Amino acid sequence: MHRLKKLSLPYLIWMIVLVVAPSILILILSFSDLDIYNLGSFKFSLEHVRELNRPEIIVAVKNSIRLSFYATLACFVIGYPVAYYLANMKSKNKTLLVTLLIVPVWSNMILRIIAWEKLFYPKSILNDVFNLSLDLIGKDIAIIIGMVSLYLPFMVLPIYSVLEKMDKSLIEASKDLGANGFVTFKRVILPLSMSGVVSGTIMTLLPAMTAFALPERLSRGKTLLLGNIIEEYFVSSNKMNLGSLISIMLMGVIVIMFVAILKFDKEGETLI
């Protein structure tokens, strides 16, 4: 056991340097007038809290909630049937299909976003091969499609994990009692898979709400999400304190969401 503790020391240092220390710095920036480019005396202040009602932040919050909701709903509508099919298929290729679902996550996210961007221009490979012009750049539907393509596996896999482990005898008992397929799904399958649905919803909703590269590329800066606001405050506007405050608030939301996951999934089997 003592040897294992020594082996874990590099990971502990890594976590402190790249996770704990930056989080503490962001927390300090959120509630002070500290300027990291001009370190000196600073005082704690709640001035940045009063700036949360800035018009661009309100617009970004509304856009983030609206677009992430649509994307999460689309992921659920598409993802649940896919997860159900995979969980109940008897083919020996089941593992291969699940792996193929995960493979896109291993590729670079920016490259996938750029690929969608190229397809959404009026002149693209679709126009050359199929004589089809999408012309979706700058429209909300482009962002939603991009979100669904990026985050769909995060909806499918938790639901699949629950459905695959579900006791099939409960479904058989429901049918033996005279319930048809719809009633069995409504009264047995869906309630028992809710932990996966909740986990998938949270794991899809959170990255969709905080995306910044995706709306930047697919909307050409016309649609701002919270991620874009944070990036702008840190990179362009020199408002790191306000950007840090928004980041801390989002981190709080993430913690609350994961606590909610653990409420529904006490064993953590849907956390991937």
Residue 74 sits in a domain of what CATH number? 1.10.3720.10
Is the separation of the CB atoms in 142 and 115 below 8 Å?
no
Within a domain: 144: yes
pLDDT by residue for the chain (272 residues), tens digit each?
A: 566 677 778 888 888 888 888 888 888 888 887 777 776 667 887 888 888 888 889 999 999 999 999 999 999 999 999 999 988 888 778 888 888 888 888 888 888 998 888 888 888 777 777 777 778 888 889 999 999 999 999 999 999 988 888 888 888 888 878 888 788 888 888 888 888 888 899 889 888 988 888 988 888 878 889 888 988 888 887 788 888 888 888 888 888 877 877 776 655 555 55
Identify whether 30 is part of a domain: no
Query: Is 19 among the domain residues?
Result: no
**Three-state SS annotation for 181-250:** HHHHHHHHHHHHCHHHHHHHHHHHHHHHHCCCHHHHHHCCCCCCCHHHHHHHHHHCCCCHHHHHHHHHHH
Domain with 98 in it: 54-264
The secondary structure element, H or E, covering residue 42 is: none
Overall domain count for the chain: 1
Question: Is residue 39, in this structure, part of any structural domain at all?
Answer: no
Is 214 domain-assigned? Answer: yes
H helical segments located in the chain: 2-15, 21-30, 55-88, 94-106, 109-120, 125-130, 140-165, 168-176, 181-184, 190-192, 194-209, 213-218, 226-235, 240-264
